[in-house]
A = this chain, B = another copy of it.
Amino acid sequence: MSKVSWKGSALLAPVPPALVSCGTLEQPNILTVAWTGIVCTHPPMTYISVRPERFSYRIIAESGEFVINLPTASMAKTVDFCGMKTGAKLNKAQHCHLELLPGEQVAAPIIASCPVSLECRVTEQKALGTHTMFLAEIVGVQVEERLLDSKGKLDLRQAGLLAYAHGEYFALGRKCGDFGYSVRRKKK
């Protein structure tokens, strides 16, 4: 396999193209953020990296709160749109017919049609260059009830989440295995 060497670039994939909600139920804004991830399991911590020139930047910096909503593949167009348009000129939630519900732990609203919403409280802000990273604790999670099985276990596969890879949106495809399957002994 022949390789070519390039200079450093942000070529990590697939990443979650999250719909981030901020502000309040009365004055909400939505933005799309692919620069997010988990940074710690306990306490549960995440981050979003946002350009300071984006409309939501000041809202998040001042309120210290945001919600990461995981979109489904059927929401791809909305996800893309919310990354293209600014909340300075448009109420994106209204325009995209996104129903908003109150957060449980934060003033920022959650997006009803997203199967999972992570309510986040900022712990630190780091200016890195084009983007500022908001490190945050995940203080609550809201999950769509229909995704829970009879034992209350989340079947996230049913959600049909959206992925983003190098400028393209994808649905998740065939399952290749589950955590630990490579070392699990087969039951007789």
A positions within 8 Å CB-CB of B: 1-16, 18, 34-47, 49, 68, 70, 73, 76-78, 80-81, 83-85, 101, 104, 110, 112-113, 116-119, 128-131, 133, 137-146, 148, 154, 156-157, 161-163, 165-183
B contact residues around A49 at 8 Å (CB): 38-40
Query: Chain B residues near A40 (CB, 8 Å)?
Result: 10, 35, 49, 128-131, 133
Q: Are A2 and B84 in contact (CB under 8 A)?
A: no
Residues in B whose Cβ lies below 8 Å from that of A180: 80, 84
Q: Which of B7, B15, B44, B144 contacts A9 (CB 8 A)?
A: B44
B171 touching A174 by the CB < 8 A rule? yes
**Known A1-B112, A165-B156: A176·B133 in contact at CB below 8 Å:** no
B16 and A13 form a contact (CB under 8 A):
yes
Cα of A166 to Cα of B172 in the assembled complex, Å: 13
- Chain B residue numbers with a CB within 8 Å of A182 are 77-78, 80-81, 84
Report yes or no: A42 in contact with B129, Cβ–Cβ below 8 A: yes
CA A6 to CA B119, docked complex, whole Å: 10
Give me 22 A-to-B residue pairs in the complex whose CB atoms sit less than 8 angstroms apart, sorted by A's number: A1-B113, A2-B144, A3-B143, A3-B145, A5-B142, A8-B138, A10-B38, A12-B46, A35-B37, A35-B40, A35-B41, A39-B133, A40-B49, A40-B128, A73-B176, A80-B177, A80-B179, A84-B183, A161-B165, A162-B176, A168-B179, A171-B173
B16 in contact with A15 (CB, 8 Å): yes
Contact A77 B177 (CB under 8 A): yes
Closest to A141 in B: B6
Minimum CB–CB distance from A25 to chain B (whole Å) comes to 14
In the assembled complex, the Cα of A166 lies from the Cα of B45 at a distance in Å of 16
Contact (A172, B176) CB under 8 Å given A35-B39, A128-B40, A141-B6: no
